Amino acid sequence: MLNHIRPAITLVVAMTALTGLAYPLAVNGIAQAVMPSGANGSLIERDGTVVGSALIGQTFTSDRYFWPRPSATGPDPYNAAASSGSNLGTTSVKLKERVIADVARLTKTGIVQPVPADAVTASGSGLDPHISPAFARAQIKRVAQARGLETAAVASLVAQQTANPTFGVIGQERVNVLELNLALDAL
Amino acid sequence: MTLVGWLQISLLFLAVLLVIKPLGLYMARVFSGERTFLSPVLGRMERDLYRVSGISPEKEQSWLGYTLAMLTFSLAGFLALYAMLRLQAYLPLNPQGFPGLPSDLAFNTAVSFVTNTNWQNYGGETTMSHFSQMAGLTVQNFLSAATGMALAVAVTRALARSKVPTLGNFWVDMTRATLYVLLPLAIVVALAFVAMGLPQTLDGSVTATTLEGANQVISLGPVASQEAIKQLGTNGGGFFNVNAAHPFENPSAWSNYLNIFAMLSISSALVYAFGQMVGNRRQGWALISAMAVLLITGVAVTYWAESQGNTILTAIGVDPALGNMEGKEARFGQAMTALYAAVTTGLSDGGVNGMHGSFTGFGGLVPMFLIQLGEVLPGGVGSGLYGMLIFAILSVFVAGLMVGRTPEFLGKKIEGREMKFAMLAVLILPLAILGFTAVSAMLPFAVASVGTAGPHGLSEILYAYTSAAGNNGSAFGGLSGNTPWYNTTLGIAMLLGRFAYVVPVMAIAGSLAAKVKSPASAGTFPTDGPLFVGLLIGIILILGGLQFLPALVLGPIVEHFAMLAGQTF
């Protein structure tokens, strides 16, 4: 056992230097030099202010904006410094009560039942930037009314902002809520 | 389930299938000590490492020497990581000023990463400094994986050689696994991840002003470099709390593919390398086929179950067309989440891209059962291969009993000594999983950690010990595991699952290496054909099923019927 101590200690130290410092710092250097936008969080700026990240969802509660999915992060939804899912099981009474309340809230805004599943379920990360095209379409009337816009204009914007799977296979049909709302503000 | 969904799933398996042979042959060269195309770059560094560490690379070790070297190395890694986590506040690269970890959490986390489990009782972005993530966790992501590969190579040599008392040199195998396999692949995958949008920065966070005028603090860090080795080493410990469900760990369908591809390819290719090294490539493919049949069945069941949606929610006005979306990300959908869930548990990866605890009864049963089958589909890098070889030995033993011949595997006689050690190894898993689960389910303070009452609560506890003992690391996250009880007992379960398992396995390797490798005769039961594959699958299912079915009936299966009956807890 004793003759193993020297190689054990030297290799832990040497490998820490190699794989724990040299490797991540080298990747860091290349990433920052070649791909700074992605390496720094795919941030979106408007008029010189960072308004969010293209990859991270954020809260929208106003009728003038499209709403994202429910988020289970604490203490506030879409807390991008503490990601979390609800982790509630299918038979959880808390889950059922939360969904009943959300379905009722959405029904009041004119969304007809059955509501799209993503509209009332919390994502795994609590930071899902996307919603389904069905949930986006269901919100068109409300947003158009709040902004005094033609329904057709908002509908065409939603269609424009809907991303399709690559080659029709890889990925899901989805709408990035922040990008859709930015486009809406730019109308 | 849709045709497109199955197409998405098939593309991934096809990509892995294409890489198995070239990567397997490359690793066979690496572990045979041959020159590779990277030798001109890395040979010098390799020799320097041996020199400063006082290692004679040509000196081989017996099974005991090899095992002791591995244990000493793991202990040194554990102590270094434990100290680093405790002293985090005094170390550099801590932009958010996180304090040191309490002793029970530091113990749990250090054990977790040294055993290649990567169970996380902490939220990465709220607990760990960049220094701890890089110089602590990332290092063990490399070293625990390289240790697993070394052990698998030692067991492989035992079956390849005839009447040799040694199994190779642990230090050399571990170093070569790191330098020639993990490190180069990690650099390539990390850069591909950055191109897909994973952050790689030493900044701690950035504050955005949302369109509605609120402040949103967005955590950043050296994510891509950690994500790459997390997957390649089947570690699974994420940079962020929610692992690869976080858009910064897994922003798109493409990054999702790369995540799954990276975790599946080395383990699968290592099985091929095994075939190459024992001089029977068909044997490698036979093992891979058995793994693939079970793994794809797992994908299918989860995909089917999750696509049905949660019928309790359907009854209150939710459209089931998208399936059960609680805990899942819109950009992945059901097929790619089911694929990730089955692969991450068939492997001992344990990263997740959706919350397994919010899966339906059967959807959640699959990941749990795949771990309970022994993490051999194809299992963790290295650990999956030696686990599968134990099942292969059990299978030839059962076949031998049926026809009344002395069982043989690859020309090695399987006798009493090997069988005793094999049973010892196989019994560790049910002992650690069912034992700790039963105790926890009876302790009021342990039950208080449960997130969802009823059968799902039992599943949360059962899944935790399953994941720990199987060295997986995924979770039914409703369980608040960051308590002294769970930190300690889960830590012990991880240690048992890794070390109490591998010591008997290495003893078998030692005894097999010393035996004569006899040539195949007319009476030899061929272990590289479909009959053996079927037998092997049967043995894995019967062992796993007999041991865990009663517990699974009380957890996920009751939950399934409760859901159908509209019963909530």
- CB-based contact B52 A35, cutoff 8 Å: no
Q: Is the dihedral of CA B479, B311, B243, B271 positive or negative?
A: positive
Mean residue pLDDT of chain B comes to 95
Q: Tell me how far apart the alpha carbons of residues B242 and A71 are, in angstroms, rounded to a whole number.
A: 13
Residue B501 clears pLDDT 90, i.e. is over it: yes
pLDDT in tens, chain A (187 residues): 679 999 999 999 999 999 999 999 999 999 999 999 999 999 999 999 999 999 999 999 999 999 999 999 999 999 999 999 999 999 999 999 999 999 999 999 999 999 999 999 999 999 999 999 999 999 999 999 999 999 999 999 999 999 999 999 999 999 999 999 999 999 8
Q: B57: burial class by Cβ within 10 Å (0-12, 13-18, 19+)?
A: middle
- Given an 8 Å threshold on Cβ–Cβ distance, is B197 in contact with A30? no
Whole-number Å distance between alpha carbons of B117 and B470: 8
Residue of B nearest to A182 (CA): B211
Closest-approach residue (CA) in chain A for B197: A38
The beta-carbon neighbor of A117 closest among B214, B309, B357 is B309
d(CA A52, CA A45): 7
- List, in order, residues 6 or more apart from B448 with CB less than 8 Å away: none
Cα distance between residue B179 and residue A147, in whole Å: 59
Mean pLDDT calculated for residue range B484-504: 96
Distance CA B434, CA B429 (A): 8
Q: Which of A90, A92, A102, A179 to mutate to test the interface with B (most CBs of B within 10 A)?
A: A90
Q: Average pLDDT in the B34-47 region?
A: 95
pLDDT of residue A1: 64
| Burial classification of residue A3, based on how many CB atoms lie within 10 Å of its CB (0-12 exposed, 13-18 middle, 19 or more buried) | exposed
SS3 B147: helix
DSSP per-residue string spanning B247-298: TTT--SHHHHHHHHHHHHHHHHHHHHHHHHHTT-HHHHHHHHHHHHHHHHHH
Q: Let me know: does B554 contact A78? Beta carbons within 8 Å.
A: no
Task: List pLDDT tens digits, range B227-278.
Answer: 999 999 999 998 999 999 999 999 999 999 999 999 999 999 999 999 999 9
Q: Is the confidence at residue B198, as pLDDT, over 80?
A: yes
Nearest to B67 by CA among B524, B362, B509: B509
Residues B63-116 have pLDDT tens digits of 999 999 999 999 999 999 999 999 999 999 999 999 999 999 999 999 999 999
Question: Alpha helix (H) ranges present in B177-232?
Answer: 183-196, 223-232
Closest CA to B558 of B371, B360, B370: B360
Would you call B98 an interface residue with chain A, using a CB distance cutoff of 8 Å?
no
Q: Given this model, what pLDDT does residue B546 score?
A: 87
What is the rounded average pLDDT of the residues B457-469? 97
The H or E element containing residue B82 is helix B63-86
B55: which chain A residues are within 8 Å (Cβ-Cβ)?
A: 7
Residue B54 φ/ψ, nearest 5 degrees: 70, 35
Cβ B52–A10 below 8 Å, yes or no?
yes
